[in-house]
Structure 1
Amino acid sequence: MTLDAQARPKNRGRHGGGGGRGGGDTKPRAPRPRRRILRWSAATLAVVILGTAGAGYLYYEHLNANIKKAQRNLGDSDVPEATPNAAGQTPLNILMIGSDSRNTAKDLKLGGSKADVGRPPLADVQMLLHVSADRSNMSVVSLPRDTMIPIPRCTTDSKKYEALSLAMANESLGRGGPGCTVATWQKLTRIHIDHFMMVDFSGVVDMADAIGGVPVCVRQNVYSHTSDGHGSGLKLKAGTHPVKGEQALQWLRTRYGFEDGTDIGRTHAQHMYMNSMVRQLRANATLGNPTEMRRLAEAATKALTVDEGLGTVKKLYDLAGELQKVPTKRITMTTLPTVQWSQDHNRLVPDPEDADQLLSMVRDDTPLDGRGAKHKSEQKAKAPSTPAGTLAVQVRNGTGTSTEAPTPARARAVTQVLQGKGFTRAGADVGAATEAKTLVLYPSADLEGDAQAVAKALGVPLGQVHRSTDVSGVTLIVGADWRTGDTYPKSRSADRTPSTAAVLSGDKEDACMEVQKGFTW
Structure 2
Amino acid sequence: MSLASQDRKPPEGSGGRGGGRLRGGFGAERPRRRRRALRWSATVLAVVIIGTAGAGYLYYEHLNGNIQKGQRSSGDDSKAQRTPANAAGQTPVNILLIGSDSRNSAENLKLGGSRDSVGAPPLADVQMLIHLSADRKSAAMVSIPRDTRVDIPKCTDPDSGKVFPATNDIINTTLARGGAGCTLATWENLTGVYIDHWMTIDFAGVVSMADAIGGVDVCVKQNVWDRSTPAQRGGSGLKLTAGTHKVQGVQALQWLRTRHAWGSDLMRARAQHMYLNSMIRTLKHQNVFTDTGRLMDLAESATKSLKVSEEIGTVKKLYDLGMELKSVPENRITSVTMPNAKDPQNSEHVVPETADANRIWQMLRDDVPFDKNGKASDTKPVASKGTPAKSPSTDPSRLGVLVRNATQTSTQSAAQGRAGEISQVLAQQGYARASADSSGTLSADSTVVQYPSADLQGDAQAVAKALGIPTSAVKQSTDVSGVTVVVGADWRTGTAYPKQAKPKAGDLPTGSDALNGSDSSQCMDVYKPYQW
RMSD across aligned C-alpha pairs, in angstroms?
A: 2.7
Contact 1:50 1:278 in 2 (8 A): no
Identity in percent: 54
Which residue among 253, 265, 283 is the counterpart of 1:249? 253
Question: Structure 2 vs 1, CA of residues 56 and 104 (structure 1 numbering), >3 Å: closer, same or farther?
Answer: closer
Write the deviation string for residues 206-225 of structure 1: whole angstroms up to 9, x where unpaired: 22122120111111111112
- Please give the alpha-carbon distance, in whole angstroms, between the structure 2 residues aligned to 1:469 and 1:86: 32
Deviation at 1:389, TM superposition (A): 4.1
Q: Match of 2:173, as an amino acid?
A: E
Deviation at 1:501, TM superposition (A): 0.7
Question: Structure 2 vs 1, CA of residues 189 and 471 (structure 1 numbering), >3 Å: closer, same or farther?
Answer: farther
Bigger shift: residues 430-439 or 116-125: 430-439
Bigger shift: residues 391-400 or 268-277: 391-400
Other structure's SS at 2:297 match: helix
Other structure's SS at 1:355 match: helix
Question: Structure 2 vs 1, CA of residues 52 and 118 (structure 1 numbering), >3 Å: closer, same or farther?
Answer: closer
Which residue among 166, 169, 190 is the counterpart of 2:168? 166
1:356-367 → structure 2 map (5 Å cutoff): 356-367=358-369
- Please give the alpha-carbon distance, in whole angstroms, between the structure 2 residues aligned to 1:97 and 1:223: 27
Deviation at 1:322, TM superposition (A): 2.9
1:457-468 → structure 2 map (5 Å cutoff): 457-460=466-469, 464=473
Bigger shift: residues 490-499 or 177-186: 490-499
Which structure 1 residue ranges, 5 or more long, are not aligned? 1-41
Write the deviation string for residues 117-162 of structure 1: whole angstroms up to 9, x where unpaired: 1111110100011112222211111000111111111112424343
Which residue among 462, 487, 491 is the counterpart of 1:478? 487
Question: Structure 2 vs 1, CA of residues 221 and 469 (structure 1 numbering), >3 Å: closer, same or farther?
Answer: farther
- Please give the alpha-carbon distance, in whole angstroms, between the structure 2 residues aligned to 1:326 and 1:475: 42
Question: Structure 2 vs 1, CA of residues 368 and 465 (structure 1 numbering), >3 Å: closer, same or farther?
Answer: farther
**Partner residue in 1 for 2:429:** 421
**Partner residue in 2 for 1:155:** 156
Q: Match of 2:176, as an amino acid?
A: G
- Please give the alpha-carbon distance, in whole angstroms, between the structure 1 residues aligned to 2:474 and 2:364: 14
Matched, 1:63 2:46: no
Deviation at 1:107, TM superposition (A): 0.7
**Partner residue in 2 for 1:3:** none
Deviation at 1:164, TM superposition (A): 4.4
Deviation at 1:344, TM superposition (A): 1.7
Contact 1:197 1:305 in 2 (8 A): yes
**Partner residue in 1 for 2:73:** 73
Write the deviation string for residues 72-94 of structure 1: whole angstroms up to 9, x where unpaired: 11111233322223332221111
Write the deviation string for residues 439-472 of structure 1: whole angstroms up to 9, x where unpaired: 3446788977765554444344566555666556
Contact 2:342 2:351 in 1 (8 A): yes
- Please give the alpha-carbon distance, in whole angstroms, between the structure 2 residues aligned to 1:453 and 1:419: 13
Write the deviation string for residues 221-277 of structure 1: whole angstroms up to 9, x where unpaired: 11112324322111111111111112111111111111xx11110111111111111
Which residue among 312, 320, 327 is the counterpart of 2:314? 312
**Partner residue in 2 for 1:497:** 508
Bigger shift: residues 350-359 or 201-210: 201-210
Bigger shift: residues 439-448 or 505-514: 439-448
Matched, 1:434 2:443: yes
Contact 2:392 2:457 in 1 (8 A): no
Write the deviation string for residues 451-507 of structure 1: whole angstroms up to 9, x where unpaired: 555444434456655566655665432112323332334545533210101111111
**Partner residue in 2 for 1:375:** 381
Question: Structure 2 vs 1, CA of residues 460 and 497 (structure 1 numbering), >3 Å: closer, same or farther?
Answer: farther
1:226-237 → structure 2 map (5 Å cutoff): 226-227=228-229, 228-237=232-241
- Please give the alpha-carbon distance, in whole angstroms, between the structure 2 residues aligned to 1:443 and 1:369: 39
**Partner residue in 2 for 1:102:** 103
- Please give the alpha-carbon distance, in whole angstroms, between the structure 2 residues aligned to 1:130 and 1:447: 34
- Please give the alpha-carbon distance, in whole angstroms, between the structure 2 residues aligned to 1:218 and 1:349: 29
**Partner residue in 1 for 2:26:** none
- Please give the alpha-carbon distance, in whole angstroms, between the structure 1 residues aligned to 2:150 and 2:403: 23
Deviation at 1:374, TM superposition (A): 4.7
Which residue among 389, 402, 406 is the counterpart of 1:398? 406
Contact 1:45 1:249 in 2 (8 A): no
Deviation at 1:283, TM superposition (A): 1.3
Question: Structure 2 vs 1, CA of residues 203 and 423 (structure 1 numbering), >3 Å: closer, same or farther?
Answer: farther
1:56-455 → structure 2 map (5 Å cutoff): 56-78=56-78, 79-156=80-157, 157-227=159-229, 228-258=232-262, 261-286=263-288, 290-370=292-372, 372-377=378-383, 379=385, 382-386=388-392, 389-390=395-396, 393-424=401-432, 426-429=434-437, 430=439, 432-441=441-450, 453-455=462-464
Contact 1:399 1:483 in 2 (8 A): yes
Other structure's SS at 1:369 match: coil
Deviation at 1:48, TM superposition (A): 6.6
Which structure 2 residue ranges, 5 or more long, are not aligned? 1-41
Scaled by the length of structure 2, the TM-score of the pair is 0.82
